[in-house]
A and B are shown apart, each in its own frame.
Chain A
Amino acid sequence: MNGVHDLGGMHGLGPIVREENEPVFHAEWERRAFAITMAAGFLGEWNIDMSRHSRELMPPAEYLATSYYEHWLWGLEHLLVEKGLLTKEEIEARVAELRKGAVR
């Protein structure tokens, strides 16, 4: 599929920024996003190409403005809803519930 993810040869995306002694994850939510994506993959409802495709469905401007694990999260949510494992409504309800007073 042609899309914003197909970055090979594109101009103007800025310098390559490297980090010395980079940690595997940069935040606790990245660990959790990685793990739930992998574990949900074990359910066998989709394969690796479907996972990648789901991330490529992210709106282009949003794709370029968000981080790697945000792409994963977006794709996972899309697949879980598409496969009927969770509904959009219950996800939004849980987010709203957690937003009330949830602090880390």
Chain B
Amino acid sequence: MSHEHRHEHGGTPQRPLTETELRVRALESLLTEKGLVDPKALDALIDTYETKVGPRNGARVVARAWVDPAYKARLLNDATAAIAELGYTGRQGEEMVVLENTPTVHNMVVCTLCSCYPWPVLGLPPVWYKSPPYRSRAVLDPRGVLGEFGVALPDGVEVRVWDSTSEVRYLVLPERPPGTEGMSEGELAALVTRDSMIGVARVAPPVRPAAGTPA
């Protein structure tokens, strides 16, 4: 089979394929033989989503919004277009909405029905995001879930939970942490985590003072 080179042979003891592995291989071989899928396209898809698309993209969007008020205004007004300005477009991100976290409002994102997630800016979702425990509890007990992720919100902070759909995908714009005043856009982007853009974490202040910050 065309993908034989990708299978792990070296060193690992051989074992029978699981039922799932057999079925994947059966479908791939049949689809390839019938010319319904192109083996090169398969490898390109895997490479794209494994190495090229991921939360570093979203982090660049957030950092730009932190340093450029005009960009931030465009982002909150028409997220799809503003994100496309940075070159991030494509499937599962056709209709983007950006949600701004503030000292009084905390947004978090879930997909209770499946796994809808903004692929162009965050890549493919982590397992916990797609799992029944998160999907069920994010809407039932958001503060409890946030607590498990290490986010303790004061009572006065309003929590808004956004349930994604196959049409609309959300990206949280987290609050810029204190102590980052002198930082460059690139340095800021490095602080932004995937979880902060799902809304289950805050962006932590830098460990060391930024360049230009008085010691």
Interface residues of A (CB under 8 A from B): 5-11, 13-19, 22, 24-26, 28-29, 31-36, 38-40, 42-43, 48-49, 52, 55, 64, 68, 70, 73, 76-77, 80, 85-86, 90-91, 94-95, 98-99, 102-104
Which residues of chain A are within 8 angstroms of B128 by Cβ–Cβ distance?
16-19
Residue of A nearest to B17 (CB): A102
Contact yes or no, A76 B133, CB < 8 A: no
Q: Which of B34-42, B79-87, B170-178 contacts A (4 or more CB under 8 A)?
A: B34-42
Contact yes or no, B21 A104, CB < 8 A: yes
Main secondary structure of the interface of B (DSSP, over half): helix
Q: Do A19 and B112 form a contact, CB below 8 Å, given A8-B136, A77-B23?
A: no
Contact of B46 among A15, A34, A102 (CB under 8 A): A34
- Interface residue count for B (Cβ, 8 Å)? 61
Which residues of chain B are within 8 angstroms of A73 by Cβ–Cβ distance?
20, 23-24, 27
A18 to B49, CA, bound (A): 20
Contact yes or no, A36 B42, CB < 8 A: yes
Is B148 an interface position by the 8 A CB rule?
yes
A55 to B127, CA, bound (A): 17
Which residues of chain A are within 8 angstroms of B46 by Cβ–Cβ distance?
25, 31, 34-35
Query: Can you offer 5 A-B residue contacts whose CB atoms are under 8 A?
Result: A11-B140, A16-B148, A34-B124, A36-B24, A102-B25
Contact yes or no, A32 B42, CB < 8 A: yes
Which residues of chain B are within 8 angstroms of A52 by Cβ–Cβ distance?
113-114, 166
Contact yes or no, A49 B26, CB < 8 A: no
Shortest Cβ gap from A11 to chain B (Å): 7
A79 to B3, CA, bound (A): 23
Contact of A8 among B23, B30, B140, B149 (CB under 8 A): B140
Contact of B26 among A13, A17, A98, A103 (CB under 8 A): A98
List B11-66 residues whose CB lies under 8 Å from chain A: 12, 14-18, 20-31, 34, 36-38, 41-43, 45-46, 49-50, 54
Contact yes or no, B27 A28, CB < 8 A: no
A40 to B24, CA, bound (A): 13
Contact of A7 among B24, B42, B132 (CB under 8 A): B132
Residue of A nearest to B145 (CB): A16
Q: Do A95 and B23 form a contact, CB below 8 Å, given A17-B131, A31-B6?
A: yes
A48 to B136, CA, bound (A): 22
A90 to B26, CA, bound (A): 9
Shortest Cβ gap from B50 to chain A (Å): 5
